[in-house]
A and B are shown apart, each in its own frame.
Chain A
Amino acid sequence: MKIILHTILGIKDVVGQRLTELDLPDGSTIAVFLAYLKQRWGDKLSIHLFDPVHGEVLPYVRIMVNGQTINYLAGMETVLKEGDEVIILPPVSGG
């Protein structure tokens, strides 16, 4: 299934563009999605997303599916569906 990765700032610089279409197996969860990102872009991306010691997603990185933070869905077990947009936001502030 096609999933859109939407990201900005440092993560966008690693991925190369703001919007990227990815092909994942049907029924993939956010955990699977992140594992795919890790495998595809390696350490360059991992330093933006994961705690280097524990391997967990950094506390200040926000992950949203179609605009909703995954903490208010099923967290890492949130199941993606065709056409979903996954937004990954590094820490941002100001304004």
Chain B
Amino acid sequence: MYSGGYAGKLLRINLSNKTAREEPLSEHMARDYVGGAGFGIKHLFDEIKPGTDPLGPENKLIFAPGPFTGAVVPCASRMAVTGKSPLTGAVGMALSGGEFPTEMKFAGWDGIIIEGKADKPTYVSIIGNDVRFHDASCSWGTLTFDCQQIIKNELHDQNVRVCCIGPAGEHLSKIACMINERRAVGRKGLGAVMGSKNLKAIAIRGTGSVAIASQKKFKLAHASMLKAFKDSPVLYPEFSHTGTPLVVDSTGAMGVLPAKNWTATGEFVPIEGIGKDAQATRKVGKEHCHDCPVACSQLKVAKTGAYAGVLTEGPDFETVYSFGSGVGIGEVDPVIAADRLADELGLDSISSGVTIAFAMELFERGILTLEDTDGIDLHFGNDEALMKLLRKMAFRDGFGDILADGSRAAARRIGKGTEKYAMQVKGLELPGYDVRGLKAHGLGYATAYTGADHCRSYAFQEVFGVPVPWEVDRFSIVDKGKLTIWNQDTRTATLDCAPMCAFLLDMAVPATACENMASLMEAVTGLSFTPEEVKKVGERVNNLAKAFNVREGFTRADDTLPERLMTEPLKSGASKGQMISKADLDQMLDEYYTLRGWDVKTGMPSREKLTDLGLAYVADTLGL
């Protein structure tokens, strides 16, 4: 049995009957699923019936940190939030950092399961073991930053940590996020699930600590991690000072920074306007997650025009893409302002920006006119239109209602053959890497259980040239199925289930991620793991997530890419001529499915594979 790391209990909150009960955390859960996304997906598969309405009371939200959270492990103040996504209908899982995850552990919980639906706007406070249900009539309707302050005031505790939704979640926008402090549980519309339950916020406070199974082993594991941090050529020398926006410069140089709804990649490359140096001119400070020595998060203030004085934490690379190059904006201040606005409204900055970029392309093509857009000029580069649409989307006002559920839903409502301009996979909008020049990254977008999600299968070998587990040619499709499986299983185990910050794998321990986690598991929890067993956790969770999606009706046809990426080669830049043709994608999928042990025609996991992973009951459930 584990002797550290875990609090040993989960909290199940039912909003319908206002009850809260404690459930023990078994060793089986700890060993097979570790925490984070593992806990979330396990509960989701076991407790959600096929065909459940994601915005109905039967859907659940599972908030789960991990065994290292709060245990003074760097990069481990993370939590996964899991539910059935209203945006995709698939597994919805998103991660967030900050202080809230650690506070959950200090309050004594390895996870919180939210179920049911409150009869009126409610927030829940969790002060250690004391769970209370509060009338949220004062905070309902507020922006996320104000909401957090109102709840802190109501609870007479300025140190309570609050995770809440904004107007977008209340209006059930399927691209709504949750916000804790200035950090988002960003993607897959989980904010709408919270809104559908009339749950405005969770406030949490703890005074406990996290036990360490072996202080001696922990000191060694901890020191090893810190040495890896120091040895990285990029983590402290560059990344700690600039954060993620430096990727604008590299993707721009490589010709894979998407622009103007992916019509002008390699052609519109506003590095001088939105890249690392431009961002640095707006930096006023730094922020860090609990126990993180890197502090990559940057505080910035806009300086010009109508945006002067607006402060945001960020914008991170993805937002620089979605509110910058993606919508044809090449200046830093509108991006800062839009980042802040999206956070306050509780909108996923990637999906909202990409959805607006979609509308802009339709406007430029004449498919949408001023009559359709409430008189808003939607030409690429119009930052005023960006701000107006974000507000309209969050409140479902006029044309904003059409965009409020993402680009796929908008295309279906607009019709006229516009689905081909919606840059999404499984309904989730594409992140900021034009995968026509990054083939494994593209296969990752196609196969990730959450939809087009850079965090599930990030091909850092292609994007950053890291030769782990082997060196790759970013333009080649050879062995990219094998590489994608390595990325997905390694990341799922070491980053999503642990859960720990993605930059740990990418920069500090790329070659030893599973070894690092095995050492930490033994030191913190007392459970012995081999690196192979760590990786198998990732494989198990990815197969379980796949099984959930298959049970919901997803097939191989859903593991695809937008038509544009398969038919329109890049026209300019350092990836000119590249695309992922349908034949290329099929070849990579065949390899991927075969190596996964999944049926090549349907994508269905085999009984043998599931049994090998300890998931025979899943095979039974699927009727295999």
Contact = CB atoms under 8 A, between A and B. Distances in A.
Contacts of B575: 67
**Interface-central residue, A68, A87, A95, by most chain B CB under 10 Å:** A95
A67 B254 contact: yes
Contacts of A58: 233
A94 B239 contact: yes
Contacts of A94: 239, 243-247, 296, 317, 503, 506-507
A67 B244 contact: no
Given A62-B465, A67-B573, A71-B471, A92 B234 contact: yes
A4 B244 CA distance: 27
B348 interface: no
A44 interface: no
B429 to A, nearest CB: 16
A64 B574 contact: yes
A48 to B, nearest CB: 10
Nearest to A8: B249
B465 A93 contact: no
Contacts of A92: 234, 238, 246-247, 249-250, 464
A6 B249 CA distance: 11
Contact of A95 (B454, B473, B474, B576): B454
Contacts of B250: 8, 89, 92
A6 B252 CA distance: 11
A56 B573 CA distance: 28
A74 interface: no
A90 B239 CA distance: 12
Contact of A67 (B437, B465, B471): B437
Contact of B465 (A8, A60, A66, A95): A60
A43 to B, nearest CB: 17
A85 B574 contact: yes
Interface string A41-58: 000000000000000001
Contacts of B254: 64, 67, 87, 89
B318 interface: yes
B207 to A, nearest CB: 34
Contacts of B463: 95
Interface string B314-348: 00111000000000000000000000000000000
Contacts of A8: 249-250, 252-253, 271, 275-276
Interface string B397-438: 000000000000000000000000000000000001100010
**Interface-central residue, A85, A87, A94, by most chain B CB under 10 Å:** A94
Interface string A1-21: 000001111101000001000
A72 B462 CA distance: 13
B464 A93 contact: yes
Contacts of A66: 574, 576
B244 A9 contact: no
A33 to B, nearest CB: 16
B216 to A, nearest CB: 32
Nearest to A7: B253
A69 B235 CA distance: 23
A27 interface: no
Contacts of B275: 8
A86 B198 CA distance: 56
B298 to A, nearest CB: 11
A87 B252 CA distance: 11
Nearest to A13: B277
A91 interface: yes
Contacts of B253: 6-8, 18, 87, 89
A48 B140 CA distance: 53
Nearest to A10: B238
Contacts of B473: 68-69, 71-72
A4 to B, nearest CB: 11
Contact of B507 (A7, A62, A93): A93
Contacts of B4: none
A95 B317 contact: yes
B239 A89 contact: no
Contacts of B503: 93-94
B460 interface: yes
A94 B241 CA distance: 12
A63 to B, nearest CB: 10
B574 A87 contact: yes
A92 B570 CA distance: 23
B249 A95 contact: no
Contacts of B83: none
A60 B250 CA distance: 14
Given A60-B466, A71-B471, 7 more contacts: A8-B271, A18-B272, A66-B574, A67-B437, A67-B575, A87-B574, A93-B460
Interface of B: 233-235, 238-239, 243-247, 249-255, 271-272, 275-276, 296, 316-318, 432-433, 437, 454, 458, 460, 463-466, 471, 473-476, 503, 506-507, 573-576
Interface of A: 6-10, 12, 18, 58, 60, 62, 64, 66-69, 71-72, 85, 87, 89-95
Listed from nearest, the 6 A-B pairs whose CB atoms lie closest are A67-B574, A94-B244, A95-B247, A8-B249, A91-B234, A95-B317
27 contacts: A6-B574, A7-B253, A8-B249, A8-B252, A9-B246, A9-B276, A10-B238, A60-B466, A67-B254, A71-B471, A87-B254, A87-B574, A90-B234, A91-B238, A92-B234, A92-B247, A92-B250, A92-B464, A93-B239, A93-B247, A93-B460, A94-B296, A94-B503, A95-B247, A95-B251, A95-B316, A95-B458
